Amino acid sequence: MEELKGFLRWASVSAQGAHGEDVRGCAGWLRDHLAGLGLAAELVETAGQPIVRAQGGKTGGKRVIVYGHYDVQPEDPRGEWLTEPFEPVERAGYLYGRGTTDDKGQLWAHVKGVEAVLRQAGELGVEVVFLVEGEEECGGSGLEDYVVANAGALREGLVGCVVSDTSMYGPGRPAVTYGLRGTAGLEVRVHGPGRDLHSGQYGGAVGNPVQALAWMLGECVGRDGVVEVPGFYEGVGEMAMWERENIERLGYDEAALAAEAGVAALWGEQGRGALERMWARPTFEVNGIYGGYTGEGGKTIIPSSATAKLSMRLVPGQAWRQVVEATVSHLERLCPEFARLEVLDSGGADPVLMDVDSELMRAGLRALEAGFGVEPELIRCGGSIPVVSVLERELGAPVLLMGLGLDSDGAHSPNERFAVEHMVKGAKASAALLMQLGESQA
């Protein structure tokens, strides 16, 4: 636990340039720690943040890649944290701090899984390659570039990749995640007058770019929860029958979700349950908006610009580049003549849907049962892990999503946490997986 706290103390916020040294320092710390376990550990430089690569175990046989990320989300809004975001604190069975669940704590289960096998069995019966990136939260392409460039070597003996960066179905209920939503991100700015103008002198004569942005965003999602960007739902299919039955069987508690999210009632596309909407339906969110005077008190101006950070969650059938294109076209069409739309940034990751019958998936289900003592569920996840589609596509092997977090952990939110018990059982499951894969080739 103290080792993990050392890992968490690094403010490795990859989206903020000011944290550049923290990100790199964190990578170096992790490399040294993995080397201390006897693995061949190194920093692999990329165009952005370095990848921590560490390799160990029996060579020439089966290989498993463990993916994780050592970077974290910004701590913003800072004022809502009850304890310091980068000074992890244990309280009532949880470890609190930025990165505890996303993803340092979850990665730690595999670090400890490897350590446990090494201590108990003396050696790893399977070759383990850690690939831990530092650009998951900022959409960097370093890991992708590396995997593409080294796909041939990485494929040798590869059974598949293991990723713990998603949620369990609930407390004490482990799960294998077979589907991830994709994501499309877009930052746009609407330009108005050349400078902030006095709203008394100019009001009535000059268009307001915040008003323009409100018109535009107002026509991106309807009050019925349906996204209004033309072409947005093109290719989106319905869930398979076994998935509907699985959802039915799970008996998801929507009231508990509402209470946990702090809303009076859930909301979304009418006629579909919350679990279906989160797992298998695409969404359009404004993640942030700003324009004009946002300080204390008032300032009677017509602002010179307004900016929105948008992101969409995608499901199988959608491709992020097409969704970004369709959204930009829609916004351009909606932008009034008095304003000008500028696209500042865009990026994304395609959705993933895994075959639940592969060898690695089945081994993962058994390992989770061994670690947690209960039968795991098969679930999908509303979140996105850009690298999963890259790993699957480039390495031609399945990806086992063995999430150890909880939706209530507050990933990306203030007071992020991770259940200590789940980390311990997750480490046991990781060790069980490595032992199984090692035995199956012996």
Q: Which residues in 347-406 contact a second copy (CB under 8 A)?
A: 347, 381-384
Site for a second copy in 117-176 (CB under 8 A): 138-139, 167
Kindly state whether residue 211 participates in binding a second copy, applying the rule CB under 8 A: yes
User: d(Cα 435, Cα 366) in Å, to the nearest integer?
Assistant: 11
Q: Which stretch binds a second copy (CB under 8 A): 24-32, 123-131, 148-156, 299-307?
A: 299-307
Task: Please name every residue paired with 340 in a beta bridge, in sequence order, or none if there are none.
Answer: 191
Pick 115 or 144: Cβ nearer a second copy: 144
CA distances from 260 to 59, 93, 417, 423 (A): 46, 18, 14, 22
Kindly state whether residue 293 participates in binding a second copy, applying the rule CB under 8 A: yes
If one counts every other C-beta atom within 10 angstroms of the C-beta of residue 337, the result is 7
Identify the residue among 153, 255, 298, 442 touching a second copy (CB under 8 A).
298
DSSP 187: E
What are the start-end ranges of the H helices in 50-167?
104-121, 142-149, 151-155
Q: Which stretch binds a second copy (CB under 8 A): 60-68, 118-126, 243-251, 408-416?
A: 408-416
From residue 240 to residue 279, the character string flagging contacts with a second copy as x (rule: CB under 8 A) and all else as - is --------------x--x---xxxxxxxxx----x--xx-
Cβ atoms 167, 381 nearer than 8 A: yes
Number of Cα atoms under 13 Å in the Cβ half of residue 262:
3
Closest approach, Cβ 338 to a second copy, in A, equals 4
Tell me how far apart the 2 most distant CA atoms of the chain are, in Å: 82
Identify the residue among 82, 92, 205, 442 touching a second copy (CB under 8 A).
205
If one counts every other C-beta atom within 10 angstroms of the C-beta of residue 90, the result is 13
Pick 221 or 424: Cβ nearer a second copy: 221
Site for a second copy in 83-122 (CB under 8 A): none
User: d(Cα 118, Cα 125) in Å, to the nearest integer?
Assistant: 10
DSSP 134: S
Kindly state whether residue 226 participates in binding a second copy, applying the rule CB under 8 A: no
Q: Tell me phi and psi for residue 408, to 5 degrees.
A: -85, 5
Q: Which stretch binds a second copy (CB under 8 A): 89-97, 237-245, 295-303, 423-431?
A: 295-303
Q: Which stretch binds a second copy (CB under 8 A): 61-69, 123-131, 168-176, 187-195?
A: 187-195
The C-alpha torsion from 277 through 408 and 386 to 306, rounded to 10°, is: 80
Closest approach, Cβ 117 to a second copy, in A, equals 31
Cβ atoms 330, 200 nearer than 8 A: no
Kindly state whether residue 82 participates in binding a second copy, applying the rule CB under 8 A: no
Q: What is the 3-state secondary structure (H, E, C) of 49-80?
A: CCEEEEEECCCCCCEEEEEEECCECCCCCHHH
Closest approach, Cβ 405 to a second copy, in A, equals 9
User: d(Cα 149, Cα 170) in Å, to the nearest integer?
Assistant: 38
Closest approach, Cβ 433 to a second copy, in A, equals 25
Closest approach, Cβ 237 to a second copy, in A, equals 16
Kindly state whether residue 195 participates in binding a second copy, applying the rule CB under 8 A: yes
Kindly state whether residue 285 participates in binding a second copy, applying the rule CB under 8 A: yes
Kindly state whether residue 286 participates in binding a second copy, applying the rule CB under 8 A: yes
From residue 46 to residue 75, the character string flagging contacts with a second copy as x (rule: CB under 8 A) and all else as - is ---------------------------xx-
Q: Tell me phi and psi for residue 365, to 5 degrees.
A: -60, -40
Kindly state whether residue 201 participates in binding a second copy, applying the rule CB under 8 A: yes
Contacts with a second copy by CB under 8 A: the residue count is 102
Q: Which stretch binds a second copy (CB under 8 A): 56-64, 154-162, 233-241, 294-302?
A: 294-302
Helix, strand, or coil here: 222?
Answer: coil
Closest approach, Cβ 213 to a second copy, in A, equals 7
Kindly state whether residue 204 participates in binding a second copy, applying the rule CB under 8 A: yes
User: d(Cα 212, Cα 219) in Å, to the nearest integer?
Assistant: 11
Closest approach, Cβ 423 to a second copy, in A, equals 19
Identify the residue among 20, 32, 119, 290 touching a second copy (CB under 8 A).
290
User: d(Cα 3, Cα 262) in Å, to the nearest integer?
Assistant: 34
